């Protein structure tokens, strides 16, 4: 017997409808590329998304066709996003920081038909244009601009296209299982792979992300997504903001620390999301500019491990609670989030701090397990000590990669994340490494993340990556690649001494190499593959 309740498909368009109906005048403020600010609200976003949807309709595309965006976090990007998915097409957000060959690869793989882009990316598009004949229409997300037209003559301009379109549009009642968007993994581990999200998976992920033990959002929040919309939907920010009716402050292309401090202070941002390298520069800028970021009460950090020193600095210097989360493109991205439980409230401050260092526990809708991949995926115990391969299941986890025939799961239906972790009985995860970044020294594993965290805790170090270098006797040994802080004079010996008594002697790195900057991936993560290429033979 079926229940007798209404059935309404879970659709991305319903998020925008909700925001426009009940949070119409909540501000959405974005920074334009020229530094000026643009002010609108959810009603404005909704009506222009509908104008864009009417324009898309005139193109007579087929449902499910892919439409790509190559854009910063700004209001037009949000409008096109909702217009594309809401109309039944697939919104493919492209990461402009990929190498040109990877860009060509993913645009061809997705067979995108239309490309919406910000002006900044004209040179990038010109460089790859002849390799992407599948793009039939190039739309610049701006008003008419002579220099863009000269540089890329086939360009048409967003504002001209939508201005004559009606702001009324009935979003189609799609099947909730239809695809709504497409993101590619950033290729840290090889060729980018497409993950095709559905309306249903996106909505369920959005519900889970808003919860108190996730991002803890409400309509009082003013949210600054620093993580770009091309990095797994800015971790869902434009969706959760619409569901909760949050205000959005969109940073455009200005992701440097000084610009972020200014945005946070001027617009009284309460919550912000980004990868650790972003927070590192925010902290330096805030100190330099003498700001205590008074409005910011929490920041979400994920994408790579958050160094404990960062959580401490945010709390002591800025009275800001850092929410450490773990996720991946294949998980939409939210997998686990760290919030204390009721039973932790009686612990001492130090004990609570120790709980908060981990990547957290799964929200409802996600299940995680640890297995020994070298031993037939034998399940491991959740005793907080044993480490193994982290596998995941849930409503918003990939089933198969875009365009691939094979299911991406183990025989018993789990997705192997490629991460190595331990987990306690409450499901609090500790990611020790990516499987390929672990260092195998004389048959024993060393976690590069643990060694990085120690280096990062040194006041004279700004950033540190630890890689496995080939070693004639031990196969691999850890080597630290570090950037000194601007004020810091530190020698190799001093940094190596800093490791004494913090870890076992045999785990202390063999060498420190100081560099001016650590190469970052398209999503702001340290490019360890490149570092291994450059310094992997330094001990031979
Ligand atoms: P890519 O796989 O292309 O780098 P993703 O952004 O999907 O792109 O990266 C997901 C990976 O990032 C995870 O598998 C994990 O290794 C790492 N990661 C994400 N969040 C954390 C975190 N909080 N701590 C440690 N590693 C993390």
330 carries an active-site annotation? yes
For 123, other C-beta atoms within 10 Å of its C-beta total: 9
Q: What pLDDT score does 34 carry?
A: 87
Is the beta carbon of 523 within 6 A of some atom in ligand 1? yes
Q: Which of 268, 288, 440, 502 is catalytic?
A: 440
Report whether residue 86 contacts ligand 1, using a CB cutoff of 6 Å. no
Ligand 1 atom closest to the Cα of residue 525 is 4
Q: Which of 31, 33, 80 is nearest to 224 (CA)?
A: 31
CB 195 within 8 A of CB 183: yes
Measured from the CA of 417, which atom of ligand 1 is nearest? 14
DSSP state, 507?
A: G
Question: What is the CA(307)–ligand 1 centre distance, in A?
Answer: 14
Distant-in-sequence, close-in-space partners of 508: CB < 8 Å, separation ≥ 6:
478, 496, 499, 500
Smallest CA separation from ligand 1 atom 4, residue = 188
What's the pLDDT at 524? Answer: 82
The CA 39 to ligand 1 mean position distance, Å, reads: 33
Question: What integer pLDDT is reported at residue 425 of this predicted model?
Answer: 96
CA 212, distance to chain mean position in Å, is 20
CA of 303 to the centre of ligand 1 (A): 4
CA distance 442 to 365: 40
Active site residue 440: yes
Residue 189: the pLDDT is 55
C-alpha–C-alpha distance, residues 337 and 339, integer Å: 6
366-372 and 378-379 strand pairing: antiparallel
pLDDT at 21: 98
CA of 417 to the centre of ligand 1 (A): 9
Q: Whose C-alpha lies nearest to ligand 1, atom 9?
A: 328
Which among 106, 122, 16 has a CA at the least distance from the CA of 68?
Answer: 106
Return d(Cα 88, Cα 478) in angstroms, integer: 49
Ligand 1 proximity of 452 Cβ (cutoff 6 Å): no
pLDDT at site 442: 83
Q: Decide: 303 in ligand 1 pocket, CB within 6 A.
A: yes
Q: Identify whether 120 is a catalytic site residue.
A: no
pLDDT in tens, the chain (540 residues): 999 999 999 999 999 999 999 999 999 999 998 899 999 999 999 999 999 999 999 999 999 999 999 999 999 999 999 999 999 999 999 999 888 888 999 999 999 999 999 999 999 999 999 999 999 999 999 999 999 999 999 999 999 999 999 999 999 999 999 999 999 987 655 678 999 999 999 999 999 999 999 999 999 999 999 999 999 999 999 999 999 999 999 999 999 999 999 999 999 999 999 999 899 999 999 999 999 999 999 999 999 889 999 999 999 999 999 999 999 999 999 999 999 999 999 999 999 999 999 999 999 999 999 999 888 889 999 999 999 999 999 999 999 999 999 999 999 999 999 999 999 999 999 998 888 888 988 888 888 988 999 999 999 998 999 999 999 888 899 999 999 988 778 999 999 999 998 988 889 999 999 999 999 887 788 888 889 999 999 998
Q: What pTM was estimated for this model as a whole? A: 0.91
Residue matched to tokens 């920010």: 237
Beta strands (DSSP E) in 113-163 are 114-117, 137-140, 155-157
**Most informative mutation of 93, 303, 387 for ligand 1 (most atoms within 8 A of CB):** 303
> Are 361 and 355 contacting, i.e. CB atoms less than 8 angstroms apart?
no
Domains parsed from the chain with CATH numbers: 14-208 (3.40.50.12780), 333-436 (2.30.38.10), 438-535 (3.30.300.30)
Q: Which residue bears the tokens 């998304």?
A: 49
Q: How would you class 12 by CB atoms within 10 Å of its CB: exposed for 0-12, middle for 13-18, buried for 19 or more?
A: buried
- 356, 373, 474, 534, 539 from 440: Cα distances, Å: 28, 16, 8, 19, 15
Ligand 1 centroid–CA 359 distance in Å is 11
The two three-digit tokens of residue 364, written as one number: 């409802």
């Amino acid at each position: 017997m079926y229940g007798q309740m209404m059935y309404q498909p879970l659709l991305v368009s319903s998020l925008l409808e909700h925001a426009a109906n009940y949070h119409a005048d909540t501000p959405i403020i974005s920074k334009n590329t020229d530094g000026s600010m643009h002010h609108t609200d959810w009603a404005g976003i909704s009506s222009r998304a509908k104008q864009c949807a009417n324009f898309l309709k005139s193109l007579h595309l087929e449902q499910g066709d892919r439409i790509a965006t190559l854009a910063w976090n700004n209001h037009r990007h949000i409008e096109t996003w909702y217009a594309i998915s809401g109309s039944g097409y697939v919104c493919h957000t492209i990461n402009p920081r990929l190498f040109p060959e990877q860009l060509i690869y993913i645009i061809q793989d997705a067979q995108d038909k239309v490309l919406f882009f910000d002006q900044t990316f004209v040179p990038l598009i010109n460089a790859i244009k002849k390799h992407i004949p599948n793009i039939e229409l190039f739309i610049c997300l701006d008003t008419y601009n002579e220099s863009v037209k000269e540089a890329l003559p086939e360009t048409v301009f967003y504002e001209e296209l939508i201005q004559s379109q009606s702001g009324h549009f009935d979003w189609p009642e799609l099947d909730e299982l239809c695809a709504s968007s497409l993101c590619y993994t950033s290729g840290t581990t090889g060729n980018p792979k497409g993950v095709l999200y559905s309306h249903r998976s996106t909505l369920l992920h959005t519900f889970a992300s808003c919860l108190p033990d996730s991002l803890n959002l409400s309509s009082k929040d003013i949210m600054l997504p620093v993580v770009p919309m091309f990095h797994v939907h800015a971790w869902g920010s434009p969706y959760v903001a619409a569901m909760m009716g949050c205000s959005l402050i969109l940073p455009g292309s200005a992701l440097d620390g000084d610009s972020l401090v200014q945005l946070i202070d001027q617009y009284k941002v309460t919550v912000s999301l980004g990868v650790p390298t972003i927070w590192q520069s925010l902290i330096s800028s805030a100190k330099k500019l003498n700001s205590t970021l008074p409005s910011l009460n929490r920041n979400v950090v994920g994408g790579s491990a958050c160094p404990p020193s960062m959580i401490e600095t945010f709390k002591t210097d800025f009275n800001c609670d850092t929410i450490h989360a773990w996720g991946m493109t294949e998980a939409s991205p939210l997998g686990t989030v760290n919030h204390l439980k009721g039973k932790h409230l009686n612990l001492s401050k130090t004990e609570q701090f120790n709980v908060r260092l981990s990547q957290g526990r799964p929200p409802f809708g996600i299940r995680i397990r640890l297995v020994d991949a070298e031993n037939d995926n034998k399940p491991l115990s959740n005793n907080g000590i044993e480490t193994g391969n982290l596998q995941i299941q849930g409503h918003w986890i990939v089933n198969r990669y875009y365009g691939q025939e094979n299911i991406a799961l183990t025989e018993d239906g789990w997705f192997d994340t490629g991460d190595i972790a331990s987990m306690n009985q409450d499901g609090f995860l500790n990611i020790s490494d990516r499987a390929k970044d672990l260092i195998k020294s004389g048959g024993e594993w060393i976690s590069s993340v643990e060694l990085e965290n120690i280096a990062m805790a040194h006041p004279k170090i700004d950033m540190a990556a630890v890689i496995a270098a080939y070693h004639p006797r031990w196969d691999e040994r850890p080597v630290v690649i570090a950037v000194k802080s601007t004020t810091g004079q530190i020698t190799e010996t001093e940094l190596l001494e800093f490791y004494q008594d913090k870890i076992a002697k045999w785990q202390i790195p063999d060498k420190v190499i100081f560099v001016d900057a650590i190469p970052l991936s398209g999503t702001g993560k340290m490019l360890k593959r490149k570092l291994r290429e450059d310094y992997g033979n330094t001990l031979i």
